Amino acid sequence: MGTCSADLAALLGPNATAIAAADYICNKFSDASFAVDNTYLLFSAYLNFFMQLGFAMLCAGSVRSKNAISVMLTNVLDAAIAGLFYYLFGFAFAFGSPSNGGFIGRHNFGLESIPSSSFDYSNFLYHWAFAVSAAGIASGSMAERTQFVAYLIYSSFLTGFVYPVVSHWFWATDGWATAFRVDNGFLFGSGVIDFAGSGVVHMVGGVAGFWGALIEGPRVGRFDSSGRSVALRDHNATLVVLGTFILWFGWYGFNPGSFNKISGFYTSGNHYGQWSAVGRTAVTTTLAGCTSALTTLFGKWILTSHWDVTDFCSGLLGGFAAITAGCSVVEPWAAIICGFVAALVLISCNKLAEKVKYDDPLGAAQLHGGCGAWGVIFTALFASEKYVREVYPSRPVRYGLFMGGGGRLLAAHIIQILVIVGWVSATMGTLFYFLHKFGHLRVSADDEMADMDLTRQGRLAYVDHDEDESQKQGFK
């Protein structure tokens, strides 16, 4: 603001009136900039939250028809639980700086001091939608056999504590591994570049879902008596495609929205600024998803001789999950590499899961956990020096190994993968173990083999005969 006022005052003239006018004009521009940035972040938050409808449709289509209502209830439940627990605890644990040793935030419980110079209500809304996404990923892995009370407990714990702690480590200005630190205490002199959360969101949800599904065990009938895989087919590919398109649309809030603002200049008086980086991020997101989708489609055709739209959709989402970490700091051509490898990772993880008799109805742990981990590594290999300087101006210039930046960023990102797996395993794995031990994790075999919608929800998602007898008689 001082530079703006001084430059404008020099143009208006060397007198008190000119200086006052310059201050007034620059302050008004500053107010307008804050309004534009908050509006941009709110719109991104709405897109981000709209993804929950995509998750609901994807999940409903990916399970058997007898469990459609149950799985959609868990998606609504995740959003509602996260709304309360992220408000009461999660946002404070994530961004309540100054923190305890960079581990966990300790201020702003219940949004106590919001708005402030650092945060507005739009920041809470945006990151709440991220928390819901992490919980939704885990719900998909555990679909078709989990008790309602288990969803209540683990969703509260994940969104109110486990996920916020991880986001504090890598996104808060004083997190121990963040690239946003205001001092020089960067991990390996670098910090972690996980721009929109391949690790923070996708790996957290994927690892949590992995432990839940592993401890529960496979669905009844998923593997026969000899251990061979039995396909429990998704019941509605239309819903899967609809959910995928909604998620694709929402990802333009998930990734580009993580800039939190759009009005900054990179070079004064130039056409190039933060808005250009926002656009580039949308492009890299698109290219990674499209490449992964096509690679998965053709890869599965080579393996099975079938063109499968659900494989295409899974590949698309795997590419999006992978590019999320580096979407703002890589070139568009690098995003194509990211998507290609993400497809191979996804296919390999799914084959491995089948081999070890691991059952995940949506393949969520493989998609979000496996592709998310690849995305973290990819960023450490291909981050561009120019874009890192622009997006992270306060950090030491450490960029991708393959771009000439050395290995420090890669070392930091390997640490990120290890600590996320360790933290989520220690917290969510322990929780799922005790829920299972005390009989609160999985439904009974009888309920699972029957219609869970009917036995647990008291109704069916689809009614074959929607006319009662009196209606039928009226047509005679």
For the stretch 261-315, pLDDT in tens is 888 777 655 677 888 999 999 999 999 999 999 999 999 999 989 899 999 999 9
Count how many Cα atoms sit within 13 Å of the Cα of residue 107 in the half-sphere of its side chain: 15
Using one digit for the tens of pLDDT, what is the confidence trace for 166-194? 999 999 999 999 998 877 778 888 899 99
pLDDT the model gives residue 147? 93
Which residue did the predictor score with more confidence, 476 or 142?
142
Question: How deeply is 285 buried, as exposed, middle or buried, from its count of CB atoms within 10 A (0-12, 13-18, 19+)?
Answer: buried
Compute the distance between CA of residue 190 and CA of residue 396 in angstroms, rounded to an integer: 6
pLDDT the model gives residue 255? 97
With cut-offs at 50, 70 and 90, classify the pLDDT of residue 221: confident
Does position 199 have pLDDT exceeding 80, yes or no?
yes
pLDDT the model gives residue 449? 85
Using one digit for the tens of pLDDT, what is the confidence trace for 243-254? 999 999 999 999
% of the chain exceeding 90 in pLDDT:
69
Using one digit for the tens of pLDDT, what is the confidence trace for 92-125? 999 998 888 899 999 999 999 898 888 999 999 9
Count how many Cα atoms sit within 13 Å of the Cα of residue 417 in the half-sphere of its side chain: 19
pLDDT the model gives residue 227? 81
Start-to-end C-alpha separation, the chain: 80
CB 297 within 8 A of CB 319: no
DSSP lists the bridge partners of residue 223 as: 229
* Mean pLDDT computed over every residue of the chain: 89
**Whether this model's pTM surpasses 0.85:** yes
Three-state DSSP string of the chain: CHHHHHHHHHHHCCCHHHHHHHHHHHHHHHHHHHHHHHHHHHHHHHHHHHHHHHHHHHHHHHCCHHHHHHHHHHHHHHHHHHHHHHHHHHHHHHHCCCCECCCECCCCHHHCCCCCCCCCHHHHHHHHHHHHHHHHHHHHHCCCCECHHHHHHHHHHHHHHHHHHHHHHHHCCCCCCECCCCCCCCHHHCCECCCCCHHHHHHHHHHHHHHHHHHHCCCCCCECCCCCECCCCCCCHHHHHHHHHHHHHHHHHHCHHHHCCCCCECCCCCCCEHHHHHHHHHHHHHHHHHHHHHHHHHHHHHHHCCCCHHHHHHHHHHHHHHHCCCCCCCCHHHHHHHHHHHHHHHHHHHHHHHHCCCCCCCCHHHHHHHHHHHHHHHHHHHCCHHHHHHHCCCCCCCCCHHHCCCCHHHHHHHHHHHHHHHHHHHHHHHHHHHHHHCCCCECCHHHHHCCHHHHHHCCCCCCCCCCCHHHHHHCC
The whole-number average pLDDT for the span 150-160 is 96
What letters, b where the CB count within 10 A reaches 16 and e where it falls short, cover 391-421?
A: bbeebbebbbbebebeebbbbbbeebbebbb
pLDDT the model gives residue 189? 86
Q: What domains can you pick out in the chain, each with its CATH number?
A: 40-262+273-457 (1.10.3430.10)
Does position 6 have pLDDT exceeding 70, yes or no?
no
